[in-house]
Structure 1
């Protein structure tokens, strides 16, 4: 065992022994605090935040489920820190949480750098009352996000204090990438619960707040090689693989990843609108905010959208506003004439106004709201097909599930999860 590893584990022993001694000194009349968790203070601790419906608040911390299990299992096998899970089962690691054994006497690992992984359990829901009809849980995305971030911060703080020499790898997928990205962004901008120096690496798959694409046109760029990457700004996370265009469906983070920008990678498969929303994804842009609404939020939401529309109209370019007014007046005049002269032709005139005239497009340029844009898109046959396909893709999540199977990020044919395993293995073995 290396002197560095012994030093790390000795430090952990001192910290934990002090904590246990303090706990034993609590007066009998006081409500005792829960005993600190005895933790194997590995050199590297991977914290995995699963996606929506992949975990729950009472999930077993020692089992990394779903998409991220396709990273932690092979990673631990590659660095020799844990046995591989049985075929068909979730990759897992052992966390010593109920023993007061001397950590300094733990059996040596087979690799120079000891590594362990665990998930961050949280109530991973989305959809609010709408989805609650089917799932029975009306938790909104914002509420679920808050519980996940709180759980991640609490666990990271606990481990950072118990294991002062350990470094962290933070992984996130889908809603978990949203939570992990928020966590890493705050740390990178020095507002987080631990110091940036404690973060070895971060990897985000389908981040709903992915930074805007390098290519503003939204067209996919050439697939990145294993060592290549692209960044839209100095503080943006590093994009690996092809550029899908657009940005995260929930926008982007102020300050990006800060000083962690070079240590945090992100991947987004083409057609995965969760992480590649563009101006073309009108229906998805209109629907996603509704996933954050509770019945109590609805009045404020409607009022807020109304006020935003008024503001947009007031600030519209005079020429754009004049064109919209002219279109509305012209089409209403046609309707009036049809109603007065040939009422039987009124349905045809109305259909022409909706499907053939430029009135709705001219109004959309003034109103400038995703909800109105989505409505207009349904009146155009070519856009209707595009919007329907994007909505179906968003709901069925085919591209969203491709990171461990069909979505490759380099010329060698590595999937996103395989690339991350290689990347992390290299960093860990190099002791970085």
Structure 2
């Protein structure tokens, strides 16, 4: 027994020393350096289900060309809607799930002195913007690597252009690299030096810019229609991806810069149904093809592009579920 006690004491001393060494090593161990910016492991790379589209085409119709109850995959509210031949042809050329074609359904109306029972332009535009935002958020939530092509005509060009402005200048509701291209036909907020102007050159500016300095006088003709002027910041980092299409003599996108007679210009805006309604047949824009055929070819070129590289992982934050009012 006398021999056992020293042995136990020696063993206890060894254990205490060992624990102390381990504690000292732990306290002096340097943490592993963080990975270089933009570098992440394979397990952390973003991915998405196989059923997700590679590209989603988002088409936003013009005034009187849509309703909130319309089927976004087979719109039928207005069989003469300008973008209908474009979306149908793209669906026919790209069956399956790789390309999703979605036409934004909204109350596309424009209250004026000739149609006071309609929804106001401001409310209609807001509804269309909210519907477009909801679709982008829903797809991006489930399919974070899907890219987008935006196409808008007239009032729809205002909505699509405002979305491009928000994404290009603020990076919401989706990162700008997810946008492959934006086409705005008869954009009421068109500026000469913003975006890429294709087709026959035209002068002037969009009607919302031309009429903005005239203030509330225009609301005598168009109650509830705010002329908001240029888009703050233009299209930001998306500027080289945005094309502006405006036919000669279309006063929606080519109004005089120095408009003086607000009432006359506002009425001209309402009555501008001739050239403005002929982009599907008017050869004066591109010379050899109509605007609708040009859009089909343009969209197919974008669909054929390789996808954007996944962005580096961002700082963890709450997911985006809504965005500030665009435009």
* Higher alpha-carbon Rg: 2
Equivalent of residue 415 in structure 1, options 274, 281, 290: 290
Structure-to-structure mapping, 1:380-395, within 5 angstroms: 391=268, 395=271
Structure-to-structure mapping, 1:20-419, within 5 angstroms: 41-64=52-75, 66-77=81-92, 80-82=93-95, 114-128=98-112, 130-133=113-116, 136-137=117-118, 139-211=119-191, 213=192, 232=193, 236-251=194-209, 252-279=230-257, 282-283=260-261, 285-286=262-263, 391=268, 395-411=271-287, 413-419=288-294
> Residue 89 of structure 2: SS of its match in structure 1?
helix
Structure having the larger proportion of residues in helix: 1
Q: Quote the offset at 1:275 in angstroms.
A: 0.5
Structure 1 residue ranges without an equivalent (≥5): 1-9, 14-39, 83-107, 214-231, 291-390
Q: How far apart, CA to CA, are the structure 1 residues paired with 2:279 and 2:263? A: 26
Q: How far apart, CA to CA, are the structure 1 residues paired with 2:107 and 2:89? A: 26
Asked if the contact 2:248/2:285 (under 8 Å) is kept, the reply is: no
User: Pairwise CA RMSD of aligned residues?
Assistant: 2.5
Structure 2 residue ranges without an equivalent (≥5): 1-46, 210-229, 308-327
Aligned length: 239
Deviations 1:114-156 (A, max 9, x none): 212011111111125x3444xx32x221111111111111111
Deviations 1:327-347 (A, max 9, x none): xxxxxxxxxxxxxxxxxxxxx
Counterpart residue number, 2:220: none
TM-score by length of 2: 0.67
TM-score by length of 1: 0.51
Cα 1:166–1:74 change in 2 (3 A) is same
Asked if the contact 2:250/2:272 (under 8 Å) is kept, the reply is: no
Runs of 4+ residues over 4 Å off in structure 1: 279-283, 287-290
